[in-house]
Copies of this chain bind each other. A is one copy, B any other.
């Protein structure tokens, strides 16, 4: 079994890095806070005696190989250590630190695996600063050219490549340099299912499709006091109608579709000026590709109607689009089997969140292990997974990795 104290201690320690004087944890990709988090991780990888490598998109790898297995494709574990704004401490970090923990445990036990085992922390999984999300793993899997990814301009107008250079994490390895034999990602569920059903382990068999768009509505600025209601071309009002349209549609459908408007800004954003422009993001998800396309089409049709009805012009920019992914059946069964052997119930489930596993699945058999999130809360400082659950998940990872590394 893994060293529970060491794992939990590191999760808490990393959770303090990037915490502001206001108490909020914000460790956006390629910021100074991310650098501090990366530095801590690298020092733990070194202490564990692992070989550290960084690729051109800033993905960090800790590799354990021996003279006997060095030529075999490794078993890769991983996740990410970047966070959202005002984040919890588990999302991503739990998976990376558990991967390290599993390797240290096997090493200390004198284990001699048939293949190398490596742990990865992928760059910019959250996608808050740079879109798309899961960028480091997407590049690693060959889904986005590294030069294009490095040129991405962020929500703060910075460029990812320049920021990685600045914090010293633009590495030299070519993304994809380690071709994994298999990839396993341990993560908190971030949703309510496991806790509600009292099941400690999720064997994640698929992951829903993700569609991100940025919508810009242009109307006409005018005086709030003198412009009759019938003569307005109010971009803010048009945007509000999209927010309620998306919510009502997703809520009333008897499907798992989710729709979220997370970002919103008005121009000129003055109390007595009718908004000339509103810009907002749309996050649409569905486990079924067909249905996701239907939802995208419904939004497009609504925007067209709205433009005519409100006399505004509307443009849409695509920020990310990933189809649903089905994970490797054999690894999912290994997860179920490991849970059984440890006397824990497990449940096959769908991931609502995007994960690096979804990208690495393009180049290697992949699957995920979930543990419960209290109240289903994530992307929130109250995100919490009880210690016992976190430790149980890491031990399941240990079992699965031992099997995969013996193949």
Contact = CB atoms under 8 A, between A and B. Distances in A.
Interface stretch (A158-166, A187-195, A297-305, A389-397): A187-195
A191 B270 contact: no
Contact of A258 (B229, B241, B247): B229
A269 interface: yes
A226 B190 contact: yes
A108 interface: no
A180 interface: no
Interface stretch (A115-123, A125-133, A326-334): A125-133
Contacts of A190: 223, 225-226
Nearest to A354: B225
B263 A269 contact: yes
A208 interface: yes
B270 A224 contact: no
B273 A269 contact: no
Given A236-B264, A240-B244, A241-B244, A223 B273 contact: no
Contacts of A239: 240
A106 interface: no
A274 B352 CA distance: 14
A375 B56 CA distance: 55
A379 B240 contact: no
B261 A236 contact: yes
Contacts of A205: none
Contact of A240 (B243, B260, B378, B380): B243
Contacts of A283: 224-225, 271-272
A379 B271 contact: no
B263 A264 contact: no
A29 to B, nearest CB: 12
A67 interface: no
Interface residues of A, number: 72
A306 interface: no
Interface in A151-176: none
A175 to B, nearest CB: 23
A222 interface: yes
A210 interface: yes
Contact of A263 (B86, B247, B262, B266): B266
A276 interface: yes
Interface in A198-235: 208, 210, 212, 220-231, 234
Contacts of A274: 260, 262, 379
A262 B223 CA distance: 10
17 contacts: A85-B268, A86-B268, A190-B225, A208-B225, A220-B380, A221-B380, A222-B378, A224-B258, A224-B260, A224-B285, A225-B285, A236-B264, A237-B261, A262-B266, A263-B269, A263-B270, A265-B265
Interface of A: 84-86, 126-128, 131, 133, 189-192, 208, 210, 212, 220-231, 234, 236-237, 239-241, 243-244, 247, 250-251, 256-266, 268-276, 278, 281, 283, 285, 319, 351-354, 376-380
